[in-house]
Amino acid sequence: MATQSSSGSTSSPSSSHRHHDIQDLINRFFVQLRQGCGVSTCSTSLCATARSRPSSPPLRSYTAVSARAMAVVLASSENALDRLCPNLPSHLPAILAAPQEKLDSKAIMQQLFNSESLRNIHSLEDTHTPRLVHERSLSGNSFLTVSCDDLVRLCDATCSLHLGSESDQHIITARNRTYTRLDSIFSDFTNLAQSFSDDPMNVRKDPETHRSATYSVRLHHALESVHALGEDASNIVFDSTWIALEPIFESPFDSRHKGPRTFQTISSDAKSSSVSDVVYRAIHTLTSFVPRAGWNTWYFAWSALIHGRAHGKQMDRRDSEYFSPCLPILDAFEQDTALRMAKRLVRAVGARTCLEETLSACSKGDAKPDPRLQVWQTNRRIRSSITDLLVQEEQNIRLASFKTIWRDELRHGGELVGTTSLIWLEWLRKCFLKEWDGSLRINRWSVAGSALELIEDLWNHKSQGQLDMPAKLFMTPAAFRILDVDKAAQDWLSYKSDVNSRHLLSFKFLFSTKRIIQLVRTSHHILMRRAYNEADATWHLRRRTMPEVNLQDVIYLDRRLRASQDHYLVLKINRHSILSDAFDQLWHREKRELLRPLRIRMGIDEGEIGHDLGGVQIEFFKLVCQEAFSPGYSFFTTDPQTRLSWFQPATLVPLYKYQLFGVLFALAIYNGITLPVSFPLVFYKKLLFQQFGETDLAEGWPSLNKSLQYLRTHQGSVEEDFARDYVYSFSANGLHLDVSMDDPWNGWSIWGKIKSGKGMTLGLMKVIRQYPDKHHPEFTSSRGENERAHARSDSEGLLEITNHLNSESQTRDVSQKAQEPDQSRFEWPGWKVMFVEPDEYSKPVTNENRHQYISSYAKWVLDWSIRPQFNAFAKGFYSVMNLRPLTLLNADQFRTLVEGHNHLDINALQRATTYSHYTETSPVICWFWEVVKAYPQEKQKQLLEFVTASSRVPVNGAESLTFVIERSDSDTNALPGSSTCFSTLRLPEYESKQILTAKLDIALEHSLGFGQA
């Protein structure tokens, strides 16, 4: 459509049809007020024809200026279409130039509406067919559907036209007709829902039926051809789609709505599918607008999009050649009409989700629900439908054999780039960053809240392996930069869930592991400050209320008020009884005491003098773990293959010791200490009350997992080839037991017990057979023996497993006959042992029950066999820890927080090192780092332990370590020393590199512990 200026020159098509819509609406009101519709029966009060009837009271006619002013006011009103005369023709009569009127020079409104720009508002191109807003909204019965191929042909034909001196007007007219048709397709909900379909005749009745593999590619290519027409076509499509999304906001039960009832015209079965189809097409309209690019270009684009800014540094010349092509990608995400439509789309999905949840809740709460609400219980939700379509599309790209070159362009290092899911993720991130006001509580139905929940859906499917999307692309550092970490952590501790809002920190994928752990530790510091301040307030209150008391009263009050007024949790530890001393001093401590800062006084009886500024705590927990994980203590058992530790099942260690060890474990995390432990990931899943299953066996029990998988996939007869009984077998306390696979705990959960404060229920172990364990007459590592006896690797095939089981059976029958039950030997903490008849509970493992057998066996290994010990540990753990901060972590992040990193980056440690009476360029320092860098990794970690009392690297890396090298005043023949209190290495000023090497090796080899070498 072209607009003609007063000089008669023809301009290019408008950048948006919205300008023409309002212009056409103003002209219609102008004609209505000045000339009327000409229909004698017209009853519109603002129409000149109705006003001119004799029955009407005499009214003053509008002048051109006053009619123009009134037309602008009416066109700007909310119910403008209701005031428009319905009898006006579709083609307006020519608006004649009015004679020059006398104007008041002091009237601002008359001068404004008589200006040249507003007089030219009546100048419309004659070749353009006016696009009437009210006609579009009232034409719900005329459908215009096209296929992807039709749209491509239409756009290709339009692109083939070139402006020339002879037929400019003809080409403009042809393009305007194309724009009008695009508007008709994209501005109507029904047209958009039924267009671009593999099933244009609606033959596929089942909405769950998958589309063909080429559908998404054809749709994307068709929409790319539209955007290839230029900015005008893109703006028309975005504005029209913005209008087509309006019905998604409508409630099907709103009787006040007078427009086309989309939810009534579409059948109930197809309703959900139609909405999801429209949203899916709108998503492709946005994603196809972003130019295609390779991995290197997307790398720089993601760097700017994720961080919300450009690199902020001078780039290398080689990098600039990749950054320049990414500028069109960044510009596409900032295009006004595209961003406006993206926000509208996200808000529509949020409104639809709100409607679905509201109606679903209504249908569940009523005794006799409205029959119209039943569809909301059966239909898929809009968000799940959208994500399912994206998952299906990506799976098609993975598996399809078509467009091989294009598919390979999307791959880099095994990851897809530039797919619909990834570009949709960037649009959602852009909507969130544009609309988020920085608040911590986010309305779920707003653009920002709905965008985050849509990103969360992509994250969940990515976590399940259904979407090939790198986790780093979900992170949004721009959101963390404007957060007040202390305020955010404090608000998270007091946050209560609400159906209409969510906390920003609940969207954990936005933040890196480093930032999440920073928030967790900040939460712990807040709780620690609260506990400290409460004790300090009590101490000052006592000083004010009882200023004058004798010494005996002071001692008495200090003893009675110790729990409430001590500022620190102080443990006095003897090196010869570390674990028992810790248990004795933690027994019956109140929770408010445990939440205060920890201070360790260790080795005082041995003559050690040190201040606990962190180093003593690190060494204390290192020694605690060494004693607790030693085989003689029978707390845990360590697998020789994986070096991972696990609870000792059915051990005779009292459960209260596991509870106290859980307290120690929590105190270390609460005070920011990295522990020298190695647990499988399932341990941290259980502590976070997350789901775990058979797949978790692979990390901690690889041989057992391999054998069970071999049993699962065996093609022959399981009963004949394996001859395995349907029992769980393990060794404990000098006995080898076969027990029933039934659940011994009746399904109760540890979290329910912790919240209610109730005691732990005894597990019912049904013993079928018992044999003496000749290899471990007193205590045994049940994991190691169990895997050796019943979970042999299948590396040598079925023959080895079968021979092993047969030999085991013969050994039992001949050499180790089953003993008579001795109930006194089964007084095990946490268990109630019952002997049952073998004929009742013993049955063979067959092809039919092997899957259930594997599932039950995994539950026994991971949960049921060690539940008394783990539950006691968890009870002690959560007597210190607040679960709310830990919910920010996933299991991997939790393990990193507890265990740190095993790899030491010596270059990062060098960058973090500070010097006292030395400089970086001192000869001794240069020699020192040359020697240390030549060490193997284990010896480098030994040096780290010598200085800091721990060989583990904290979660934030070696850069976060305190490592000081101080010049020692000792003789140059002395050995290097260390002070773990201050993480300081005392290094004499040696005369040569060879002497330094020899002295440092001796010090590391014969280091004695805290503060000594």
Cα–Cα dist 985/944, whole Å: 10
Nearest Cα neighbor of 862 from 1010, 724, 680 is 680
Give, as one character, the DSSP assignment of residue 418: S
Rounded Cα gap, residues 310 and 748, in angstroms: 53
CA-based nearest residue to 243, from 254, 231, 235 = 235
CA end-to-end span of the chain, whole Å? Answer: 88
Do the beta carbons of residue 337 and residue 282 sit within 8 Å? no
Backbone angles phi, psi at 1007, to 5 degrees: -65, 140
CB contact set of 839 (below 8 Å; sequence gap of 6+): none
Query: How far, in Å, CA of 951 to CA of 968, rounded?
Result: 23
Instruction: Provide CB contacts within 8 A for 180, sequence distance 6+.
Output: 129, 131
Residue type, 652: L
Q: Give the integer Cα–Cα distance in Å for 43 and 37.
A: 11
CA atoms within 13 A on the CB side of 792: 15
- Distance (Å, rounded) from C-alpha 296 to C-alpha 304? 13
The Cα–Cα gap between 182 and 196 comes to 13
Q: Which amino acid, one-letter code, is at 731?
A: S
Structure token digits, residue 606: 């041995």
Q: Distance between CA atoms of 58 and 845, rounded to whole angstroms?
A: 101
What span, in angstroms and rounded, lies between the C-alpha atoms of 284 and 832? Answer: 61
Residue 60 makes CB contacts below 8 A (sequence gap 6+) with none
From the list 148, 431, 625, 981, the catalytic residue is: 981
Angle, CA of 626, 632 and 638, to the nearest 5°: 65
**Strand (E) positions, 45-101?**
none
**Tokens 């895997």 sit at which residue?**
787
In angstroms, the CA 26 to CA 118 distance is 10
Q: Is 520:885 a contact under the CB 8 Å cutoff?
A: yes
Task: Dihedral sign for Cα 391, 396, 397, 398, please.
Answer: positive
Going by the DSSP 8-state scheme, the letter that residue 331 receives in this structure is: H
Burial (0-12, 13-18, 19+ Cβ within 10 Å), 481: exposed
Let me know the angle formed at the C-alpha of 403 by 400 and 405, rounded to the nearest 5 degrees.
115
List Cα–Cα distances, 453 to 229, 349, 488, in angstroms: 34, 10, 20
Closest of 342, 200, 204 to residue 284, by C-alpha: 342
The residues, any chain, with a CB within 8 Å of residue 72's CB and separated by 6 or more, are 26, 113, 118
Nearest to 184 by CA among 156, 153, 145: 145
Identity at 678, one-letter amino acid code: S
Starting at the edge strand found earlier in the chain, the sheet holding 964-967 runs: 914-916, 964-967, 984-987, 977-979
At residue 899, the 3 state secondary structure works out as helix
Q: Kindly report the three-state secondary structure assignment for every residue of 4-29.
A: ECCCCCECCCCCCHHHHHHHHHHHHH
Q: Quick check: is 47 catalytic?
A: no
Give 746's contacts (C-beta < 8 A, 6+ positions apart).
761
Give the whole-angstrom CA distance, residue 696 versus residue 692. 7
Contact assessment for residue 868 and residue 829, using Cβ atoms and an 8 Å cutoff: yes
Catalytic residues: 981
